[in-house]
């Protein structure tokens, strides 16, 4: 059962918690993408891997050459019974997605999009949030949900600047 796995949301959001614009990322930050890759691929146990769970639109927004995301188990959530995702598993509910995490999985990362974040952030099995705070307003049309007060332990994991954009990596956890 999935309750043995840590479950985290991971996202980057602007000052208004915007995460997407017209179905794409509102910025191109190499250091942020490298951080995302490092967090979602680096395991404590070298014999395990992490699992990433995303909605169908997030999957479809990934360039075909980047899907599935390498060195991670990819699971795509969809209501579409006929949907297939080459190189990934398809699940029709969050429970179904979590149930695909066996002993080879170390942690589960919810990687988007907006609806998937909104439906997972308040769940009791969600352990925390990795959120990159990108300074500025990028005119987004998709937003990250408010972080629940239960995630009261906040750790700053680093700060970067790329071009004229500054961003801070933070982790929010339960006490």
For the domain that residue 109 is a member of, what is the CATH number? 3.40.430.10
1 pLDDT more than 50: no
Domain count, the chain: 1
C-alpha torsion 146→152→157→162, nearest 10:
20
Q: What is the pLDDT of residue 43?
A: 97
* pLDDT for residue 3: 58
Which range has the worst mean pLDDT, 20-24, 91-95, 120-124, 147-151? 20-24
| Reported confidence tier of residue 23, pLDDT bands at 50, 70, 90 | confident
Entry pTM: 0.95
Q: What per-residue confidence (pLDDT) applies to 83? A: 97
Q: Of 141, 121, 142, 139, which Cα lies nearest the Cα of 131?
A: 121
pLDDT of residue 48 exceeding 90, the answer is yes
pLDDT attached to residue 46: 95
> Catalytic site residues?
25, 32
30 has pLDDT over 70? yes
* 3-state SS assignment for residue 10: strand
In the prediction, which pLDDT does 28 show? 92
Q: Which domain holds residue 8?
A: 2-173
Q: Which residues contact residue 54 at a Cβ distance below 8 angstroms, ignoring those fewer than 6 apart?
A: 74, 75, 76, 77, 110, 111, 112, 113, 116
């Amino acid at each position: 059962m999935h309750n043995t796995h840590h479950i985290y949301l991971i996202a980057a959001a602007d000052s208004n918690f915007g995460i997407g614009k017209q179905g794409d990322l509102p910025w191109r930050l190499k250091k942020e993408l490298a951080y995302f890759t490092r967090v979602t691929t680096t395991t404590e146990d070298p014999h395990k891997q992490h699992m990433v769970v995303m909605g169908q639109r997030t999957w479809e927004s990934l360039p075909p050459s980047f899907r599935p995301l390498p060195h991670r188990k990819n699971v795509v959530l969809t209501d579409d019974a006929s949907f297939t995702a080459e190189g990934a598993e398809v699940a029709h509910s969050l429970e179904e997605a979590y149930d695909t995490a066996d002993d080879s999985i170390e942690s589960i990362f919810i990687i988007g999009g907006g609806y998937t974040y909104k439906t997972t952030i308040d769940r009791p099995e969600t352990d925390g949030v990795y959120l990159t705070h990108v300074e500025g307003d990028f005119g987004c049309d998709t937003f990250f949900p408010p972080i629940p007060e239960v995630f009261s332990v906040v750790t700053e994991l680093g700060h970067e600047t790329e071009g004229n954009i500054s961003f801070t990596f933070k982790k929010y956890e339960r006490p």
